[in-house]
Structure 1
Amino acid sequence: MTFEEFVEARLQALLRYAVMLTGDPHTAQDLVQDTMIRAQLKWRRIAAADLPERYVKRMITNAYVDLHRGSWLRRVALRGVDLDTGGQEPDHADSLAERDEMWLWLDRLPRQQRAALVLRYYEGLSDGEIADVMSTKVGTVRSWISRALATLRTHLTPTVAGS
């Protein structure tokens, strides 16, 4: 497979993956663009790997974890007004507000924990596969996921209790 064929077949999936990691489509585009430039320069070695897509995802994950700059975009969490809907379907704004709140929660996590959650729940990878992508041990992956979920639960619990 040539680099051009790989890009044509997998670019959109790699962009979606990067958006899940970063929480920001513009940062994700920058991350994927930089990674694809590096991948093109190393394409012979990447193409020789058993799974070129996994190799490139590892490159994206490592680039995300290594970002030393903070988020330049501050997000504002929108909260839906709790109105009696009279049996109607919930307002679309409520689901958007919940999604925005989830992005804020994910943004509070350390990069490794967030990456591990995205690989588990968005990409559907096993602990061993996540460890392979993140170049670490399975126990470390389990620890990151456990800590991330515990952190998210502490943010979720007051919201649920207040409802």
Structure 2
Amino acid sequence: MGVRKQAGDREFQAFVVGRWPRLMRTAFLLTGEQHAAEDLVQSTLEQVYVAWHRVASADAPEAYVRRVMINAHARRYRRKLREFLVPRSEDAGLTHEVADTGDRIAQADDRHTLLKALAELPTRQREAVVLRYWEDLTETQTAEAMGCSVGTVKSNAAKGIAKLRAISGLAETVTQGGRK
């Protein structure tokens, strides 16, 4: 194995180790299931590894990887929709998230209610809400990650937040926690 290949492998490994919790959190919020999130991150990293030289030379490698993840999630979702067209089960494993000490969602009084509500959002709204509010990306960064316009991000995020606010169990949890 060449010196350049070894250096690239070490750089990729450092990237994965440093970004793993955040990638898992994003994937979990997109998929709503622990195992699906692990699969999504793994398949994303497989794609990224093959093109690591191109990814590493990008201005923002993390944004590049996030875009690959969102595209993979969208493909998977479309395929599932075509294959099954069956509503999600009641709980769908939403209580098995990998803990992240900096995770703002962990501050919610009722994680199950929040994650269940998030999983009920349509895919594009869930992506917009996750990227804007949990990943704290700007509207422009979110639009780039989702491959759409800033206006589409604003619209999807607003609709997603409105749907979350309309869920009574979630609103009660937030109000009880002292947040409004």
Question: Which 10-residue stretch deviates more, 40-49 or 149-158?
Answer: 149-158
- Bigger shift: 112-121 or 64-73? 64-73
Change (3 A) 1:19 1:146: same
Verify: 1:129 aligned to 2:141, yes or no.
yes
- State the one-letter code of the partner of 1:128: T
Aligned counterparts of 1:16 and 1:38: Cα–Cα separation in 2: 19
Query: Which 5+ residue runs of structure 2 have no aligned equivalent?
Result: 1-7, 93-107
Specify which structure has the bigger relative contact order, considering alpha-carbon pairs within 8 angstroms and separated by 6 or more residues. 2
The TM-score normalised by the length of structure 1 is 0.76
Report the alpha carbon displacement of residue 74 of structure 1 after superposing the two structures with TM.
2.8
Q: Give 2:48's aligned amino acid.
A: A
Residue identity opposite 1:65 in structure 2: A
Q: Which amino acid in the other structure matches residue 63 of structure 1?
A: A
SS of the counterpart of 2:161?
A: helix
Report the 3-state secondary structure (helix = DSSP H, G, I; strand = E; otherwise coil) of the residue aligned with 1:69: helix
Matches within 5 A, 1:37-76: 37-66=46-75, 67=77, 68-69=79-80, 74-76=89-91
1:80-139, Cα deviation, whole Å (9 max, x unpaired): xxxxxxxxxxxxxx93xx321222211121111101101111111111110111111100
- 2:32 is the alignment partner of 1:23: yes
- Tell me how far apart the structure 1 counterparts of residues 38 and 65 of structure 2 sit (CA, whole Å): 14
- Tell me: CA distance 1:51–1:104, structure 2 relative to 1, closer, same or farther (3 Å): same
Q: CA deviation at 1:22?
A: 1.6
The answer as to whether partners of 1:64 and 1:111 remain within 8 angstroms in 2 is no
Cα distance in structure 1, aligned partners of 2:26 and 2:120: 19
How much has 1:69 moved relative to structure 2?
1.8
Instruction: Tell me the secondary structure at the aligned position of residue 115 of structure 1.
Output: helix
Moved more, 7-16 or 41-50: 7-16
- Could you list the per-position Cα deviations for residues 24-54 of structure 1 after superposition, in whole angstroms to 9, with x for gaps in the alignment? 2111000000111011111111111101111
Q: Does 1:104 align with 2:122?
A: no
Tell me what 2:97 maps to: none
> How far 1:65 sits from its partner (Å)?
2.3
Query: One-letter code of the match for 1:26?
Result: H
Q: CA RMSD in A?
A: 2.7
Partner of 1:36: 45
> Percent identity, aligned pairs only?
37
Answering whether residue 150 of structure 2 is matched by residue 138 of structure 1, we say yes
Structure 1: unaligned runs, 5 residues or longer: 78-93
Residue type at the aligned position of 1:43: W
How has the CA–CA distance of structure 1 residues 112 and 101 changed in structure 2, closer, same or farther, with 3 Å as cutoff?
A: same
The letter for the 1-side match of 2:140 is G
User: What amino acid sits opposite 1:133 in the alignment?
Assistant: A
Find the structure with the greater CA-based Rg: 1
**Conservation of the 8 A alpha-carbon contact between 1:18 and 1:32:** yes
1:19, CA displacement in angstroms?
A: 1.4
